[in-house]
Structure 1
């Protein structure tokens, strides 16, 4: 079989993966989307209650919309803001349905390799096709592919509570009382878990801000609810974002709401706290910092410290990744929060995302590694360029067809579409710069207890 007749495998039926499939069809190429979940947008559905920062008009890929048009699909109000559930149900699932058999659910990709070659072998890497190893309910499968576009995201790999990037001592043992996503407090069972209790929230990105707003509202309705907010950075600084200067108004508004929530009296803020241990006591969980500072016991801990890519199943293909961000090396200088404290991320495509392994591309959140800055618009531009490159249209692959909004904020607040994707990345100012140098743990607003 000629390699050009083989499908292009897309890993993940999220917004970027499905957009990649639409662009492949538009180019006359055969897509095959492999999704581990049972529905399109499986990860998006897990933060169904969170509203995006971008409007509907900014989270629908133009080529995907063209594919949907003949079905009678009606685009939602372009100026309204969808929740995760609405994005999944009203756009991602209809798009996957149009793609039909090109999307396979419950198909977990566990490996990608060059056919007949392990990582060490040089010969044939530019001539043999790729093989994708998949686990399905019907057993293991091997799929031969012309190219692989990894749009699997990072949602399944949240960062731990431990301040050194590894789980804190006792963190795994206390797993039943630790959550790694923004709780849906509209769910009665989830609400009961936190109502009237002391809760620690760790993180400084938009996930954490979203949680602070939700918990502040819960505290008003359920007396006794109190949050200890933990920041690794030495000062609150620009944690609440750019406010009215943010070109994504909903994101700026979230920061203002979170700032207001932190001042009401139900939230105590502890800065410069890097967790090293979680101790289970009769009074609850006691968090201990690297310098021995111990917090009062809490009943629950919510860890919202960002995400990281799962690279384990790419171990047999040759990757060139930045050693710090774990993003494609050529992309890293554009998104590194240790370097870029303000402004926007420039549009980029196949040139920055290509790997030494021919035909392998990391796109979407996966391409950003541990960096905390991503918009759906960025991902749509990525796959437009990548698919053009796979199709051999190098002029289109090099062309930039996107203008991104400015962040209106320094540091690690990021440019995510959804608050759920926030990060506690230590941005440029965290060790100096605009956020201030870290100090020992400092508690703010103790009188509010």
Structure 2
């Protein structure tokens, strides 16, 4: 049962205790889990992800070594049940409380994400709520969020998937703000929603690699031959300073193959470049380390909160979930019910890099592990129900599977859940 809606921090209820599913933790794991959690304080929550393969790919969340800290986390007003992993759970049908807003009520959703406007015949994807096994997620409280942002900046930095999470957050907040007291402006890589009466902004900054790249134009960036400049995070980072809540993501744009081009010296625009070919894993590791160094240098953990959103899964191959090899997310209206479903092996090595880099770091970043819970949602993609970048060919029209977008997500929908989990970790870490 979810805590009641509240308009002030003092009346916001904490997560409620519930019985653990016997399918999730054995008694021994539970005892070890509680023992470790009760013995340590923490500055950030990050579950080390240990991937393994058998007949199908699974994900195992091992217990983190939480770092001790004398200071209360910024923005925190309560605590998560200490024995609860909010990222481990199941989807439940909730037609009473979902969706959290209507598509036509939020004018900020890009036409690439407005599935109803573009002819999707069903709304089933809008009625699912994430239910952790051991507790409940607090009701998203727009008033608490805006009051906490008074005089502050919240920023999402990354690619179009992080832009989707940014737009979801704006949609969740804008309804309680009078029309004359809000604005939405786009200027190159930076998009800013302003709640004027709160002197608060929710922002999105386009930087798909976090580092400088040849894909940094916020409009013209569909480049196949991608190049990232080594040690260049300050190119974008100068625009992120003085942010109070930061949400990073970067993943999709790295997945171009086994190797990646890194600019060692010179400028991105130079015809003659000093290029090194490195493995995708090493290139991604470089970006993660650069991000952590930037955060350590520029963000004060006593005043700010930094989050990293894990990989948003795609559903390009039906064979991954036991379907026809020729199918994908097109015409999928049901969830994947296998609780152990992980998807293809393509994410495994990158997830291992994230686990390795974050495990060694002392930088206080909260990890939003949305990957597996989103993996179940083959039904929630925009598929063919979106504005198309270019006119469709007769061949494509005859075969919708060929042009279905199985990467991005309809709104309202899954990404609102991402923000409910962000809300939980912000106020109830």
**TM-score, structure 1 length as denominator?**
0.24
**TM-score, structure 2 length as denominator?**
0.25
Greater Rg over alpha carbons, structure: 1
The structure with more helix, counted as a fraction of residues: 1
